[in-house]
Amino acid sequence: MASMGELAAGAVAPLRAGKNSDRSPQSILFLIALWVALGFAVLCLLTLLIDAVLDGLPRLDANLFTQYASTLSPETGGARAAILGSAMVIGFTALFAIPLGVAAAVYLEEFADGERWWNRLIEVNIQNLAAVPAIIYGMLTAGFALAIGLERRVVVTAAIALALLILPVIIVTSREALKAVPSEIRQGSLALGATPLQTVWRQTLPAAVPGVATGTILALSRAIGEAAPLLLLGGLSFVTYDPNGLLSGYTVLPIQIYGWVQQPQVEFRQLASAAIIVLLLLLLLMNAIAIIIRNRYQRRW
Amino acid sequence: MKRMTFGHMTIPAALTLTLVLAACGGGQEDATDAVDDATGAVESAASGDAPASDAPAGDASGEVVVDGSSTVAPLTSAAGELFTQENAGVNVSVATSGTGGGFEKFCLGETDISNASRAIEEDETAVCDENGVEYTELQVATDALTVVVSADNDFITCLTVEELATLWGPEAENTITTWDQVNPEFPAETIELYGPGTDSGTFDYFTGEVNGEEGASRADYNASEDDNLIVQGVSGSANALGYFGYTYFEENAETLKAVEVDSGDGCVAPSPETSADGTYTPLSRPLFIYVSNASYADKPQVASFIDYFVANDAEIAEASQFIALNDEQRTALTDAAAALAG
Amino acid sequence: MTATTADGGSLLGAGPGPGAAARDLARTITRRSNRVGEKFAMALITLAAVLSVFITIGIVASLLLPAIEFFSFEDSPSVVDFLTGTRWAPTFADASFGVLPLITGTLWTTGIALLIAVPFGLGAAIYLAEYASFGVRRVLKPVLEVLAGIPSVVYGYFALTFVAPALLKDILAIDVGTYSVLAAGLVLGVMIIPTIASLSEDAMSAVPSAMRDGSLALGANKMRTVLRVVFPAAISGITAAIVLGISRAVGETMIVALAAGTQARMVAAPDQPGQTMTGFIAQTATGESQPGTITYDALFAVGLTLFVITLIINVISIRLVRRFREKY
């Protein structure tokens, strides 16, 4: 009589006999369908990249980075104002969004009593905010700027709009990072006499930094590609100077691309493609940095 | 968190590196002075200093804020670019809110110069008076408002003003939908219409001349303040028609065809000559910039820009493919500008 | 992992983490801190969290106030006319403010987008979760993440310069003009494939392997297991993914602004141009808007409609997730 062990082994064996041991036509068709689905996504990505690169590579020259946009001579025009503008706006966006987002995440994760209705309200609220369309954040910031007398078409307003946009994302990812820190760390610190705030500041948060950094960089890379909120803030104008301060006019890469794509002349198409290549490279760089941080510094508890 | 191995992460990093290197090495063409100056400026700009310290500097510095007609905008932008090459400290920003939109901001004192493809109207003058904004009107170019179809369109060469009115009048909305309703000889294809939005001086002028009343138009067409969108739309379909300033046709002459207009004396094609001698009617019109007297007096960079514009008007018009003024109009311009300065 | 698709991470449930235990412990040990600095710091971080509530209030206020103003002009439509009218011509002499044309534009683009994104996204998710080897997944998940990270203006450029002229007109011989809801919808679909794929894949990976093993042990082949066991078990997460995809498609601006057109009409076929709610907002915002006029406020009325629609979609999603969620 077969023992339990032999029965079990017999039952397990077919599972290991081969990943796709079923050869029925439906199974094969199903697998092919899945491959097609996956291949479609990859194909779209490749087509998009190749299309942009083929079109824009001729214009990927020094002029792109050093010249301003030109309506007279698009062959020598460039995206200088947009590149510097993007850098400046993202810098301030990070400055506004990261402290606020991390602070809110700390409160929700470390101090808030999850049973109280107001804390639950805050959590639901953040979930809702993450799903609000980007252009509505532009409308919010436009209204806010008008209310306090701030000019709409300046760098600081753009930074506020983008910071509000990515705030929910930063809060959620920071919470996840904080959650991943084991409670022994916190308990040890408390046991040694530290206050909860000291514990957070000196133990929990530093331990969560890689996760927070990864999430933040990914959120910022989303902000760099956003144009919709900035359209409402008067972002679509012809700018031929470097941004020089919080209250300076500006343009950013996505908006410059938007403007160029709408011009039918082929030189502008090329410029748009070249600017797209620059933007995609920038995003690739940010994502690579995020992945490096995640791999090198992520601790396994 | 998922673990991704070091090996996998090198792929995006290597890709980035390769592409960045390719980009940097990808072409050092163009040895104009501007590039050399600008390269020096990039270093200083990247470290946060004021830009272009090496480029030739005029005396003026500051901002010149321009808004208004998208028809006139390329002209003013060209003037701005040429001006900035000699006065690198000045920022000329040109927005395109439409002639009407531009006047709204102008009469609130928000802009220094307003581009306009029609003359200012009474109710707009009233707002300017209310807010104490005094202005000077300068005609800077002439326009032959052009009706265009795609270069692939093979059934339209000439349209009478009556046919245009049938096509664009308010009664045509949802009724005139195929080309054979405009002219029985045309094929029974769906009409696609592109045109400026209602804040555009081009819209006001066209509807006034063709439909008899400014602002009277069918509403079911692709409206856009950006004439480039009209170019894109019309050139992409053989059954499309649109209208805008002559410059936009000139710049896209390979993909578009200008429709000849017959106002009773035969078909006339738009061109600088027919516009100047008046045979291209009723769609010839003047293009203006309105300068805020206060801005001219208080902001030296605005005064400098306007003086430059007026002095080099002919070159600027030629560079941006606009129809330049004739001698009579040029004299009027210099007189008006002198009055402004004096 | 949910950290990198943080849009919907929280939708799949934020349960109490290890911090919770320490939190409660902390509360019993030190009720209140006596140090002034700490009180101040606590106030600050509480304020940061409460800020999110202010943001929502701000959004509602910044949309509602101009929208109310919109309905209070003398030539304003009534709310009913606004919501049910079929002519949208806000700037013309005989203006009409019926928002239905814009809603049909949004419906068409979103519908076409879902037709693309749901089958391809779910297919990709099933493959990645159930069939892909570790090596394949290592390469393909980042591909999906890259697709997710591409800015929407790039997708819009792609729609206008490749999909409409080359793909639709030349290769597929569909008679579209420069602008059409089809071109915009197709690219919109490609944009939300990663959203649906990532979240569905997370949901399916979270199904305990005991269920799979049980099904296989009972003699079902892999396909049956996936379709009859894993998929239904993950249905709550998959629904959440699809609904999130819908709300992203509805709220997307740049693709439709570049590729769908500016003609607000009751769209009746995919090869027609049309204007979506977001497209109208973008067009008006970059146009002549002056605060206080009825055409500017129309922008906010449409924005409010959009906000309410996405809110409803979000609430439905939370309800569905809660209803279908299975606890393992």
Enumerate the β-bridge partners of residue B67. B114
User: What angle in degrees, to the nearest 10, is found between the helix axes of C235-251 and A134-148?
Assistant: 50
pLDDT, tens only, C148-167 = 889 999 999 999 888 988 88
Best C63, C68, C150, C227 member to test A by mutation, with max A CBs in 10 Å, is C150
Which pLDDT value is given to residue C22?
63
Select from C159, C327, C324, C187 the least CA-distant residue to C243.
C324
CB A140 within 8 A of CB C31: no
Which pLDDT value is given to residue B26?
30
Answer whether C89 sits within 8 Å of B219, measured CB to CB: yes
Q: DSSP secondary structure string, A64-98?
A: HHHSPP-SS-TTT---HHHHHHHHHHHHHHHHHHH
Which pLDDT value is given to residue C4?
38
How far away is chain C from the Cα of B210, in angstroms, using its nearest Cα? 16
HSE value, Cβ hemisphere, 13 Å, CA-based, for A287: 29
Q: In the predicted model, what is the mean pLDDT of residues C6-34?
A: 53
Rounded distance between C-alpha atoms, residue C254 and residue A226, angstroms: 9
Residues of C in contact with B212 (CB under 8 A): none
Residues of A in contact with C30 (CB under 8 A): 195-196
Residues of chain A with pLDDT under 50: 1, 9-18
- DSSP three-state, residue B195: strand
Structure token digits, residue C161? 């310069």
Percentage with pLDDT > 70 across chain A: 90
How far away is chain B from the Cα of C46, in angstroms, using its nearest Cα? 28
Higher-confidence residue: C310 or C3? Answer: C310
- DSSP three-state, residue B260: strand
Residues of B in contact with C287 (CB under 8 A): 97-98, 101, 197, 199, 225
Q: Which residue of C has its CA nearest to B189?
A: C175
Is the pLDDT reported for residue C118 higher than 90?
A: yes
The length of chain B, given as a count of residues = 342
Nearest to A34 among C131, C285, C314 (CB): C131
Helix boundaries (H) for A57-182:
62-66, 80-106, 117-130, 134-148, 155-180
Other CB atoms within 10 A of residue C140 CB: 18
- DSSP three-state, residue C290: coil
Nearest to B2 among C1, C94, C261 (CB): C1
Which pLDDT value is given to residue B309?
92
Q: Which residue of C has its CA nearest to A186?
A: C22
Answer whether B97 sits within 8 Å of C165, measured CB to CB: no
Q: Beta strands B256-258 and B146-150: pairing type?
A: antiparallel
Residue with tokens 């960079």: B301
Residues of A in contact with C247 (CB under 8 A): 131, 133
Q: In the predicted model, what is the mean pLDDT of residues C230-248?
A: 89
CB A77 within 8 A of CB A238: no
Answer whether A284 sits within 8 Å of B12, measured CB to CB: yes
Which pLDDT value is given to residue A25?
85
Q: Which residue of B has its CA nearest to A293?
A: B9
Which pLDDT value is given to residue A12?
45
Q: Which residue of C has its CA nearest to A276?
A: C154
Answer whether A71 sits within 8 Å of B320, measured CB to CB: yes
Answer whether C142 sits within 8 Å of B2, measured CB to CB: no
Q: Which residue of C has its CA nearest to A44?
A: C190
pTM of this structure: 0.80
Best A137, A176, A256 member to test C by mutation, with max C CBs in 10 Å, is A176
How far away is chain C from the Cα of B266, in angstroms, using its nearest Cα? 32
Nearest to C6 among A52, A172, A183 (CB): A172
pLDDT, tens only, A50-101 = 988 998 888 888 878 888 877 667 777 888 888 998 999 999 999 999 999 9
Give every CB contact of residue A194 below 8 A, 6+ residues apart in sequence: A202, A203
Burial of A173 (0-12, 13-18, 19+ CB in 10 A): buried
How far away is chain B from the Cα of C320, in angstroms, using its nearest Cα? 27
Query: What ipTM was assigned to the predicted interfaces of this complex?
Result: 0.84
Rounded distance between C-alpha atoms, residue C261 and residue C279, angstroms: 8
CB B110 within 8 A of CB B65: yes
Residues of C in contact with A255 (CB under 8 A): 153
Give every CB contact of residue B232 below 8 A, 6+ residues apart in sequence: A262, A264, C160, C178
C16: pLDDT confidence band, cut at 50, 70 and 90? low
Is the pLDDT reported for residue C280 higher than 70?
A: yes
> Hey, is the C-beta of C94 within 8 angstroms of any chain B C-beta?
yes
Rounded distance between C-alpha atoms, residue C35 and residue B93, angstroms: 53
pLDDT, tens only, C36-66 = 788 888 888 889 988 989 999 999 999 999 8
- Strands in chain B per DSSP E: 62-68, 90-94, 113-116, 135-144, 146-150, 158-160, 192-195, 222-223, 240-244, 256-258, 260-262, 267-268, 284-292
Which pLDDT value is given to residue A63?
79
Nearest to B235 among A63, A262, A264 (CB): A264
Q: Which residue of A has its CA nearest to B96?
A: A237
Q: Which residue of B has its CA nearest to C264?
A: B220
Torsion C199-A301-A124-A201 (CA) sign: negative
Which pLDDT value is given to residue B1?
38
Per-residue pLDDT of chain B (342 residues; tens, 9 = 90+): 344 444 444 444 444 444 433 333 333 333 333 333 333 333 333 333 333 333 444 566 888 999 888 889 889 988 988 898 888 888 888 887 778 878 888 998 888 999 998 889 888 999 999 999 999 999 999 888 999 999 989 899 999 999 999 999 998 888 888 899 999 999 988 889 999 888 788 898 999 999 988 888 998 899 887 788 899 889 888 889 999 988 889 888 999 999 999 988 889 999 888 887 778 878 888 899 999 999 999 999 999 999 999 999 988 888 887 888 888 888 888 888 888 877
Nearest to B93 among A70, A72, A249 (CB): A249
C290: pLDDT confidence band, cut at 50, 70 and 90? low
* Chains in contact with A, where contact requires at least 3 CB pairs less than 8 Å apart: B, C
> Hey, is the C-beta of A234 within 8 angstroms of any chain B C-beta?
yes
Check residue C23 and report its DSSP letter: H
Higher-confidence residue: C323 or C199? Answer: C199
Select from C50, C106, C86, C48 the least CA-distant residue to C308.
C106
Nearest to A197 among C38, C61, C257 (CB): C38
Q: Which residue of B has its CA nearest to A275?
A: B23
Nearest to C287 among B4, B197, B237 (CB): B197
CB B33 within 8 A of CB A66: no
Residues of B in contact with A264 (CB under 8 A): 228, 231-232, 235, 252, 255
* Chains in contact with C, where contact requires at least 3 CB pairs less than 8 Å apart: A, B
Check residue A111 and report its DSSP letter: I
C323: pLDDT confidence band, cut at 50, 70 and 90? confident
Answer whether A291 sits within 8 Å of B95, measured CB to CB: no
Q: Count contacts between A and B (CB, < 8 Å).
A: 118
Structure token digits, residue B44? 């200083």
* Residues 179-208 in A contacting B (C-alpha not used; CB under 8 Å): 180
Rounded distance between C-alpha atoms, residue A86 and residue A225, angstroms: 9
Best A50, A63, A256, A258 member to test B by mutation, with max B CBs in 10 Å, is A63
